[in-house]
Amino acid sequence: MYIGLRPLLKFSLYLIFLLVLAGSIWLVSIVSGSSTGLEKALITTIESMLVQRAENFAQQFRNEYRTVKDLPEYFLHHPKAQKICNEKLELMRDRDIRFVYLLWLDSQGKFRFLCDGSESKGRVMQKFDPDDPDLWRKIYRSGIATIVDQTQFNELWKSMLIPIRDGGTTRAMLVIDYSTDFLENLKRLSAPIQKTLRTILYITAILVVFIIVQLILLYVIRNKSVRDSLTEIYNRNILTQLRFTLPLHHYHLLMIDLDHFKRINDTYGHDVGDQALRHSVHLLKSLMKKKDFLIRYGGEEFLLLSHCKGKDPTEGRRLAAKVLESFRHTPLEHPTYGKIYLKASIGLFLCPPRNLSFNTVLKEADLALYRAKKAGRDCFMEVSAEKNNIAQKESLDFTQIKRLIEQDCIRCVYQPIYDHRGIDIVKYETLVRLVDEKGTMIPPKDFLPVIWHTNTYVRMTRIVLEKAIRAFRNRKGVHFTVNLTLQDLLDEQIISELEELATRERETVSRMGIEILEYHHFENIERLRETLNWLKRLGISIILDDFGSGHANFFILQYLPVDEFKIDRRMILEAMTNQKAKKLLISLAQYARDTGLKTTAEYISDERIFAMIQQIPVDYLQGFYLGEPLSEPEESKKTENR
């Protein structure tokens, strides 16, 4: 049975009954009251909703512009940012709200526009004169949201003033003006609403019965929603319930991944692959106790939560060893193919500390699983003993990121790289994004640190490689790059993926370049050099990203088979104001030409940088001034006249 739903259902029924009872009493009081009382109640309700929307905007504004010291200067010089701010304000405008705008109080006590969501917009720093400046200044400085009467314009009724404060200081004030039509519309609205409320009183009893029936149906549906249809064990949806009800510190967590499962599907077909999954579940169930949970966490990945007696770590290790032995010695008996042996790798977290979240425990177990695969598979690795004080500072929920990756919510965008003149596109850099359930594009900084050095990160990298190959397969002659780290280049799974792609997509791979990130610290330079030479034999070019940001760069150029390097943006910015830095940049570019290396200048973000870099003998240019990332690469493109 679905753990925890029965008490939840009982509590929900009581709660709904009380809510309906309270609502009925409120309706009776409203109906028996005067029309004015109804109007006041409606005004209060609508204003509460409006205040909530305004507070949401204020919170977003604080978060987005916390680091901006001078808001007027920022909006004056960033018209795109002001446009986005205006569009957000426009969302609060309707037929009853005529004007929505953001004001700033200057040092002389004058109000000036920052952003304006009204139909007729004010300019940044344009002066604004309220009808009672002293009152408005008092509200601005107090930081207390206030509704004031409007007497300056006949068509306006009231103004809601919401100061936006950060660190004890008001940075701006959001103003929402109600039109006089607002009150008239409420009066027209109140008459039919009173009749409607009387009708609602008669159908309340029917509604209560209907809700109870719906809750029972919901219970049945949700019980099915947490079951995997193929293996009939719990699926990942059960974690939503367990993370709040399960005392995780009383359980050993085993993250189990079937080794080389893709080969089974490719060799025998997906029907046999499904049988292998059911066979794996049968083996795992045979080792479970009454209080244990078995969850299908991914395609060929399982979570086994084993109740621990007295937090004995040897108990968890024995269970992991039994799981491995069971897979080794109990093959799938197939009538056509005979015995099919399965193997598994396991990430083990023994009785996690009480203070750790479910999300953090899953992430650490996945990291241990990654280490087990790196160690040769068919083994288990524990969460490192020194990780008892694991930080819980993830940008996003680890399980959410893992789910998005498995649901193919990875999106690649392609930033063009131009020739030295900034006219012709010579190639594209492949950049990765995630798209959440709301369609929001998530940048790498918000999800890569969460999955770094885990098995989930390796899976994402393999998917990005596949997507990049598909994007450029039919674009003959178009070159492209993919970002990889040293971790990727020394990972057996990713190298295997590259080898398979080179065999299947030789022509496309020959147009690919690999941009190496995080290359300043490495241990096995000989192995790395062998890997890079192997990649070059496949036709893949090798590019160092952010060259100039560390001390080991020239050593790398001497010992690794590098074709190109990208100059670190800090060197380019320094060259804008420092003649020594500029001469160093020229020498670096000339050194590259003399040694047969190509160079790319990144961060060409404005016309000044573009003009300066024209004096440097680099080969390629990249930056938002020339071209922003595209959802699809193009055959060729020329920059517009600037």
Final residue of a domain: which of 363, 393, 423?
Answer: 393
Do 276 and 369 have their domain in common?
yes
Domains: count for the chain = 4
SS (H, E, C) 567-605: ECHHHHHHHCCCHHHHHHHHHHHHHHHHCCCEEEECCCC
Judgement on whether residues 448 and 589 belong to the same structural domain of the protein = yes
pLDDT exceeds cutoff 70 at 321:
yes
Average pLDDT over residues 543-569: 78
User: How far apart (Å, rounded) are the C-alpha atoms in residues 463 and 434?
Assistant: 12
165 DSSP β-pair partners: 170
3 state SS of 100: strand
Q: Is 90 exceeded by the pLDDT of residue 313?
A: no
Residue 302 has pLDDT above 50, yes or no: yes
pLDDT at 309: 78
Which burial class, exposed, middle or buried, applies to 214 when counting CB atoms under 10 A from its CB (0-12, 13-18, 19+)?
A: exposed
Q: Tell me how far apart the alpha carbons of residues 129 and 53 are, in angstroms, rounded to a whole number.
A: 25
Q: In one letter, which amino acid is 159? A: S
pLDDT in tens, 150-191: 777 777 778 889 999 988 889 999 998 887 666 666 666 666
Do the domain assignments include residue 147?
Answer: yes
CA count, 13 A, side-chain hemisphere, 408: 3
- The residue whose two tokens read 């050095």 is 453
Write down the pLDDT at residue 492. Answer: 81
CA atoms of 556 and 522, how far apart (whole Å): 10
CATH number of the domain that residue 315 is part of? 3.30.70.270
What is the per-residue pLDDT for 437? 83
For residue 524, is pLDDT > 50? yes
Residue 26 pLDDT greater than 90, yes or no: no
Structure tokens at 59: 């919170």
Q: Are residues 598 and 488 in the same domain?
A: yes
Whole-structure pTM value? 0.55
Are the C-beta atoms of residues 430 and 414 closer than 8 Å to each other? Answer: yes
Gap between the Cα atoms of 531 and 540, Å rounded: 11
> What radius of gyration do the chain's Cα atoms show?
31
Residue 447 · residue 396 · CB < 8 Å: yes
The secondary structure of 173-230, three-state, reads: EEEEEEECHHHHHHHHHHHHHHHHHHHHHHHHHHHHHHHHHHHHHHHHHHHHHCECCC
Higher pLDDT, 554 or 175: 175
pLDDT one-digit tens code per residue, 440-474: 888 888 888 888 778 888 889 999 999 999 999 99
317 and 466 part of one domain:
no
In a domain, 642, yes or no: no
- Identify the CATH number of the domain in which residue 487 sits: 3.20.20.450
The pLDDT score that the predictor gives to residue 642 is: 39
The identity of residue 326, as a single letter, is: S
Summarize pLDDT for 243-270 with one digit per residue, the tens: 878 888 899 999 999 998 988 988 899 9
Do 263 and 245 share a structural domain? yes
430 and 563 housed in the same domain? yes
Position 633 in a domain:
no
Out of 11-25, 228-242, 340-354, give the one with best mean pLDDT: 340-354
Query: Residue 101's beta-bridge partner residues?
Result: 116, 175
Tokens of residue 541, six digits: 């070019």
Which of 135-149, 214-228, 244-258, 282-296 has the least mean pLDDT?
214-228
Q: Exposure of 238 by Cβ count < 10 A (0-12 exposed, 13-18 middle, 19+ buried)?
A: buried
In this prediction, residue 551 has a pLDDT band, given cuts at 50, 70 and 90, of very low
At residue 312 the predicted structure's pLDDT band, cuts being 50, 70 and 90, is: confident
**What is the reported pLDDT for 5?**
47
The reply to whether 201 and 299 lie within a common domain is no
What's the chain's average pLDDT? 84
115 versus 12: which is more confidently predicted?
Answer: 115
Residue 401 inside a domain? The answer is no
The 3-state DSSP class for residue 407 equals coil
Which of 366, 393, 420 is a domain's end point?
A: 393
Evaluate whether residue 456 is within a structural domain: yes
Residue 605 contacts by C-beta under 8 Å, 6 or more apart in sequence?
623, 624, 625
Q: Are residues 154 and 240 both part of a single domain? A: no
**Tokens at 188, concatenated:** 């027209």
For 479-519, write each residue's pLDDT tens digit. Answer: 999 999 877 888 888 888 898 899 999 999 999 999 988 65
Order of strands, sheet of 251-258, starting from the edge strand that comes earlier in the sequence: 234-235, 293-296, 301-307, 251-258, 344-349, 380-382
- The residue that leads in pLDDT, 538 or 4, is 538
Report how far apart, in Å, the C-alpha atoms of 396 and of each of 19, 94, 525 are. 34, 34, 34
One domain, residues 340 and 477: no
Does residue 109 fall inside a structural domain?
A: yes
| Residues 481, 512: Cα–Cα separation, whole Å | 5
Angle at 518 between CA 551 and CA 512, to 5 degrees: 115
Mark whether 508 and 442 lie in a shared domain.
yes
Q: Name which of 343, 373, 237 is nearest 295 in CA terms.
A: 237
Percent composition of the chain: helix, strand, coil (DSSP 3-state, to 5): 50, 20, 30
User: Which range of residues forms the domain containing residue 157?
Assistant: 35-179
| The predicted structure's pLDDT at residue 611 | 93
Among the candidates 367, 393, 419, a domain finishes at 393
In this predicted structure, the answer to whether residue 54 has a pLDDT above a threshold of 90 is no
The predicted structure's pLDDT at residue 570: 86
212 domain-assigned? yes
Using 50, 70 and 90 to split pLDDT, how confident is the model at 17?
low
Residue 535, exposed/middle/buried by CB under 10 A (0-12, 13-18, 19+)? buried
State how far the alpha carbon of 502 is from the alpha carbons of 133, 480, 496, in Å: 71, 15, 10
Phi, psi of 247 (to 5 degrees): -75, 90
Residue 199 confidence (pLDDT) above 80: no
Whether residue 43 is predicted with pLDDT greater than 80 in this model: the reply is no
Q: Is residue 402 part of a domain?
A: no
Binned at pLDDT 50, 70 and 90, residue 237 comes out as confident
| Pair 28, 50 in one domain | no
- Burial (Cβ within 10 Å: 0-12, 13-18, ≥19) of residue 30: middle
CATH number, domain with residue 127:
3.30.450.20
Band of pLDDT at residue 389, cut at 50, 70 and 90: low
- Using DSSP bridges, classify how beta strands 293-296 and 410-419 pair: parallel, antiparallel or unpaired: unpaired
Q: Average pLDDT for residues 412-421, to the nearest whole number?
A: 94
What would the two tokens of residue 416 be? 């063009």
424 and 482 fall within a common domain: yes
| Out of 191-205, 277-291, 516-530, 591-605, least confident range | 191-205
Going by the DSSP 8-state scheme, the letter that residue 631 receives in this structure is S
Q: 250 and 356 in contact (C-beta within 8 Å)?
A: no
pLDDT number for residue 395: 47
The answer to whether 296 and 233 are in contact (CB under 8 A) is yes
State CA 608 to chain mean position distance: 33
Give the whole-angstrom CA distance, residue 140 versus residue 136.
Answer: 6
Q: What percent of the chain has pLDDT over 90?
A: 41
